[in-house]
Amino acid sequence: GTAVHPLLPQFRGVDLAAIQVEGELFKGMRTFVMNGNATHSKVDIETMLVENGAEVEQAASCNTDLVIVGAKTIRVANLAKQGTHDILNVDWVLRSLEAGQLQPISPNFVVCLTEAHRAELEDRMDQWGDSYTETATDTTLREVVAYMKSVPEKVSQVLEDSEPMDMAEFEEKLFQNEKPYWHMFGGYSIYLDMYDPITEPYGDGGSGDGSVLACSASASLGSASLGGSEDNSLSKGTNTVEECNREGTQGRLLEDSPLVMLIPVIRFYGGNVVSTLDTSVTHVIMDPGDLSRYETIRRHCKSIFKTFPHRAVHLCSSDWISHCTLSRHLRDERPFYI
């Protein structure tokens, strides 16, 4: 007679007669489980589906609602190329069972979607699975980050293809010229009066070549940058005030200046902290308890304005920063002028 070759265990279907339906989570859903993985075999996955009301098929047909896979194999890839079926990994089944309700389809579950369902997915969330309408939770954010870590090639490609974003233009469109409190210092270049001597490239006197080699503030702050633009002059070079002074850099970081602690605050709210008092500076912040460099800074700011009339510099006390952050509102600088 004809020899019978039994299917390998990984390709065998579940014995439906031995399974008792216990729930209706997947009721009415026609599924085809192509394979399992190291944790859950094909039979294990089919059993979970049938126990919760699903119909299990042993081949993908035009009536199949969903294909479930535990591993991406050549068979899976071939079916995905056809684009005729929605193919999800087994994590979707497990997550739905854990939550007690069907989970929204997101990129971290997707192996392949039909064209119509992919368009629907793109309307609901971005390519990383971050919903446009649902409130983000700790769990959903962790899932998005985990998915991004699992597809580093895709992340790299997106970064390569992306054009640099003009944050000022973005904020203008989004907030109609009213800055959000969490980015209230965005677009500002702020010089903190914590160097002696200061830089005076346009001053009448001063130190000559107008360049400052600023020390890193990392010795006082640890990791000072919490956001905003990075200023390389504050993160390169020497690491301690003592080393900075010993090397004889032009702008000596004042060891006990309380303004050092404003660096992470300004950066957190979107500002750029600079160590050179040049024409890019929009604000100079001084410690009310130490105005010894006031006349030099004032003369310098006047020189900038004389040369570049459109570059007026606000010369404020550190109280301006404190009042802005405490009120979560960008305050008028004038009451805080030195």
The answer to whether 217 and 263 have CB atoms below 8 angstroms apart is: yes
Segments of 162-312 assigned E as strands = 189-192, 195-196, 252-253, 272-274, 283-286
pLDDT in tens, the chain (338 residues): 555 445 555 555 666 777 889 999 999 999 999 999 999 999 999 999 999 999 999 999 999 999 999 999 999 999 999 999 999 999 999 999 999 999 999 999 999 999 999 999 999 999 999 999 989 999 889 989 999 999 999 989 888 887 776 766 776 677 766 778 888 998 899 999 998 877 555 434 333 333 332 333 333 333 333 333 444 334 333 333 343 333 333 467 887 899 999 999 999 999 999 988 888 899 999 999 999 999 999 988 888 888 888 778 999 999 999 999 999 999 999 999 99
What is the C-alpha separation between 165 and 168, in angstroms, rounded? 9
**If phi over 0 gives left and psi between -120 and 50 gives alpha, with beta otherwise, what is residue 125?**
beta
Segments of 135-219 assigned E as strands = 189-192, 195-196
Cα 201 to chain centroid distance, Å, stands at 38
Query: Of 251, 249, 260, whose CA–CA distance to 217 is shortest?
Result: 260
* C-alpha triplet 174, 319, 316: angle, nearest 5°: 80
For the chain, the C-alpha Rg in angstroms (whole number) is 31
The answer to whether 5 and 11 have CB atoms below 8 angstroms apart is: no
The answer to whether 87 and 76 have CB atoms below 8 angstroms apart is: yes
Segments of 135-282 assigned E as strands = 189-192, 195-196, 252-253, 272-274
Q: What is the pTM of this model?
A: 0.49
Query: Of 148, 253, 248, whose CA–CA distance to 198 is shortest?
Result: 253
Report DSSP letters for 50-65, one per residue.
Answer: HHTT-EEESS--TT--
263 burial type by CB count under 10 A (0-12 exposed, 13-18 middle, 19+ buried): buried
* C-alpha triplet 225, 321, 317: angle, nearest 5°: 120
The answer to whether 64 and 30 have CB atoms below 8 angstroms apart is: yes
Q: Does residue 242 sit in helix, strand or coil?
A: helix
The answer to whether 71 and 36 have CB atoms below 8 angstroms apart is: yes
Tell me how crowded residue 21 is: count the other CB atoms within 10 A of its CB: 11
| C-alpha distances out from residue 193 to 203, 256, 276, Å | 16, 12, 10
> Which residue has 């940058």 as its token pair?
225
pLDDT at 222: 34
Q: Which residues pair with 223 in a beta bridge?
A: none
Query: Of 40, 49, 41, whose CA–CA distance to 67 is shortest?
Result: 49
Cα 11 to chain centroid distance, Å, stands at 42
> Which residue has 């997915």 as its token pair?
121
